[in-house]
Amino acid sequence: MKDENAIPAAEQNNNSFDPLDMHNYRIEHLPKRERSVFEKSLAAAGIPIAILVFILFGFFIDLPFLQNIDSSTLVSASAQKEFERIGAEAFSRHNAYMLAVFLGAIILWMTQALPNYLTSLILIISLVLTGVLPEREAYAQLGHPVMWLNIMSFVLASMLVATGVAKRFALWFILRFGKNAGSIFVSFIVINIILSAFISATTAKAAILLPIFMVIAAIYGARSGERKNNFGRSIVLQNLLNINLGAGAFVTGSGANLLAAALIGGAIGGSVYFSDWMVAMFPIMVGLMFVGYMLAMKVFFPLKPDERLPHIKGGMERLRQEYQKLGKMDVQELKAVVIFLLILGFWATDRLHGISATAVAFVGAIVALLPRVGIVNWNDVDIPWHLMLFSAGAYTLGAGFGITDLPSISVNAFFDHLGIGDETHFWVLYLLLTGVMIFSALVFQSKTMRTMIFVPIAIGVANRFGFSVISLALPVAFMIEHVYVLPFNSKPAALLYETDQYSLTDTFKFGFTMMVIAWTLNIIAGETWFKFLGITPEGVFGLF
């Protein structure tokens, strides 16, 4: 009789592969997924379509709502100033160029015809050459405060990785509390919550945790390919969910969150504080993590009795040996912990002292890099500059939106065309905007791109209907991190899909269910928790 738990002969014969060796699960050792025929077709068509769309909308198609723009309809002060400076005709032409550049960039980003950073560079120079933005303002976006916060956050995250603090904590927690299959899953929830407060890159968290939960998956008999089991499906998909939900609990959780906060802060002439975001979203995201745990364990991937037992003897002992290799916590690790606790403390109390998250991270990074006193040197720092350039392009796009007021002009034209009057109820707009934002993740592959599209739209809708920008734009921003349904939805999703522990069907049914629950919870929060915090004016339904 065939033993279903037996290790395949090919794997047995491959003496170089040890399922309990954490180094086998490093990112660079995972196979690179080949693009499908459809994805290759999209990429091939992306460049000619983007060029055609840019030419048509920039030079030939005159959209009525962009002609004869009246300064009284402009919302942003920068747009009104630009209108007065260059006149109505030139302002309309700039809006046409802005729309053309925006559509062309969206096509290139969605089809992946070019690397994201290269599309951003093309976008920046296009806005300069068309005259939409002056060179100084377009190029200055690389020095945007949020860009500096991103850079400093990567310096600090590199400090945790270089000293081994993050890995030490994750291993210690699993060894201390992961006594059985159920407690292992709960342990990863706690680990993700804590790491999310300190590490602002979801990919970095995935890279730290991937070798650990893959070794545990092997211990419990999970195999890739045809021999997948529910333990492997559950531990990988729950970590994918929690990596992203953890990022949504903090404004510093990802660059897209920071971008949304910057856009909203610019619209209200103030700031979205770290503490504001954390108070609003931390309990919701933690609640969703435990909902995901219950659904995975009880509904989608219930563990059979044999899947609850280790299949490889001494498996946890191998993790213990990996932990022991780290030795005792040294001075450098202690300094890293102290620096990050101080930074987190200043971030959490930013409303009290008024020091920006960027300034706090700046000081922390300087201390970490100081010769003899600090913890890391510049060569230890891993800053993904391709992501920085991509973000710079997104911020330049935002500057173009601000100076042309294209989102507000488009929103007004859209609602006027549909005949929707200014008496539209708040809850209708709330449901529409948050729903479009969260479910757009099914087709978009960049959180930053979705943020650049839908947060300005939410700001424009709020201005048109006379609602607080915060009441609509912030709940929309809270939907950014729900990018765990399909492999192309986020970098961690693409990375963990390469483990071959689950199928597209597995991730869709679990992820889409969690997405619907998250949206529903956002709606309920709009009527209760967000109302209590003063985010929504009367709750989404206005019942109280």
What does 43-89 look like in DSSP terms, one character per residue? HHHHHHHHHHHHHIIIII---GGGSS--GGG--SHHHHHHHHHH-HH
**276 within some domain:** no
Confidence of residue 8 (pLDDT cuts 50, 70, 90): very low
74/110 same-domain check: yes
**96 within some domain:** yes
Are the CB atoms for 506 and 233 separated by under 8 Å?
Answer: yes
Tens of pLDDT, residues 34-44: 666 777 888 89
Nearest CA-CA partner of 256 in 141, 113, 149: 149
Domain count, the chain: 2
Question: Can you spell out the DSSP letters for 367-427?
Answer: HHHSTTTSS--GGG----HHHHHHHHHHHHHHHHHHHHTHHHHHHHHHHHHHT--TT--HH
Q: How far apart are CA 366 and CA 243, in angstroms?
A: 27
59/148 same-domain check: no
Q: Is the pLDDT score of 440 beyond 60?
A: yes
Tens of pLDDT, residues 409-437: 887 788 777 777 667 788 889 999 999 99
Question: Can you spell out the DSSP letters for 304-352?
Answer: PGGGGS-SSTTHHHHHHHHHHHT-S--HHHHHHHHHHHHHHHHHHTHHH
- What is the reported pLDDT for 519? 96
Are the CB atoms for 231 and 220 separated by under 8 Å?
Answer: yes
Q: How far apart are CA 159 and CA 370, in angstroms?
A: 12
Question: Can you spell out the DSSP letters for 214-230?
Answer: HHHHHHTT--SGGG--H
**What contacts 112, CB < 8 A, 6 or more positions away?**
39, 42, 43, 46, 445
Confidence of residue 31 (pLDDT cuts 50, 70, 90): low
Asked whether the CA dihedral 476, 482, 485, 487 is positive or negative, the reply is positive
- What is the reported pLDDT for 5? 43
Q: How many C-beta atoms surround the C-beta of residue 36 within 10 A? A: 9
Residue 114: give the domain boundaries. Answer: 35-141+391-404
- What is the reported pLDDT for 221? 76
41/120 same-domain check: yes
Q: In this predicted structure, which of 51-65, 129-143, 215-229, 352-366 has the lowest mean pLDDT?
A: 215-229
Confidence of residue 47 (pLDDT cuts 50, 70, 90): very high
- What is the reported pLDDT for 352? 83
349/398 same-domain check: no
Q: Is the pLDDT score of 25 beyond 60?
A: no
- What is the reported pLDDT for 428? 87
Are the CB atoms for 386 and 116 separated by under 8 Å?
Answer: yes
Question: Hey, what are 296's tokens?
Answer: 């995975």
Are the CB atoms for 63 and 71 separated by under 8 Å?
Answer: no
Decide: helix, strand or coil at residue 516. helix
**361 within some domain:** yes
Question: Hey, what are 396's tokens?
Answer: 């330049």
Q: Please state, for a pLDDT cut of 90, what percent of the chain lies above it.
A: 25
pLDDT higher at 37 or 288: 288
126/42 same-domain check: yes
399/362 same-domain check: no
Question: Hey, what are 171's tokens?
Answer: 């291993």
Question: Can you spell out the DSSP letters for 154-178?
Answer: HHHHHHHHHHTHHHHHHHHHHHHH-
70/94 same-domain check: yes
pLDDT higher at 50 or 460: 50
Q: How many C-beta atoms surround the C-beta of residue 67 within 10 A? A: 13
Q: Which parts of 425-468 fold into alpha helices (H)? A: 426-439, 447-465
**Phi and psi, residue 524, nearest 5°:** -60, -40
Q: What is the largest CA-CA distance in the chain?
A: 84
**Phi and psi, residue 402, nearest 5°:** -65, -40
Mean of per-residue pLDDT scores for the chain: 82
Are the CB atoms for 481 and 257 separated by under 8 Å?
Answer: yes
Decide: helix, strand or coil at residue 356. coil
Question: Hey, what are 529's tokens?
Answer: 């928790």
Q: Quick one: average pLDDT of 262-266?
A: 83
pLDDT higher at 541 or 441: 441
Tokens 């509390």 appear where?
177
**439 within some domain:** no
Q: Quick one: average pLDDT of 113-133?
A: 91
Neighbour-count burial for 88-109, b at 16+ CB within 10 Å, e otherwise:
eeebbbbbbbbbbbbbbbbbbb
- What is the reported pLDDT for 225? 66
343/377 same-domain check: yes
Dihedral, 482, 485, 486, 489 alpha carbons, nearest 10: 0
pLDDT higher at 387 or 31: 387
Q: Quick one: average pLDDT of 124-133?
A: 94
Tokens 């364990």 appear where?
297
Are the CB atoms for 192 and 239 separated by under 8 Å?
Answer: yes
pLDDT higher at 373 or 127: 127
Q: Is the pLDDT score of 48 beyond 90?
A: yes
86/108 same-domain check: yes
128/39 same-domain check: yes
Neighbour-count burial for 365-385, b at 16+ CB within 10 Å, e otherwise:
bebbbeeeebbbeeeebebbe
**What contacts 60, CB < 8 A, 6 or more positions away?**
none
**424 within some domain:** no
Planar angle of CA 442, 444, 446, nearest 5 degrees: 125
156/103 same-domain check: no
**116 within some domain:** yes
Q: Is the pLDDT score of 333 beyond 90?
A: no
- What is the reported pLDDT for 456? 86
- What is the reported pLDDT for 20? 53
Q: How far apart are CA 196 and CA 198, in angstroms?
A: 5
Tens of pLDDT, residues 58-67: 999 989 888 8
Which amino acid is located at 537 in the chain? P
69/44 same-domain check: yes
End-to-end CA distance of the chain: 66
Confidence of residue 10 (pLDDT cuts 50, 70, 90): very low
Write the DSSP symbol of residue 297.
I
**108 within some domain:** yes
Asked whether the CA dihedral 338, 339, 343, 346 is positive or negative, the reply is positive
Confidence of residue 295 (pLDDT cuts 50, 70, 90): very high
Q: How many C-beta atoms surround the C-beta of residue 183 within 10 A? A: 12
Q: How far apart are CA 201 and CA 199, in angstroms?
A: 6
pLDDT higher at 159 or 4: 159
**194 within some domain:** no
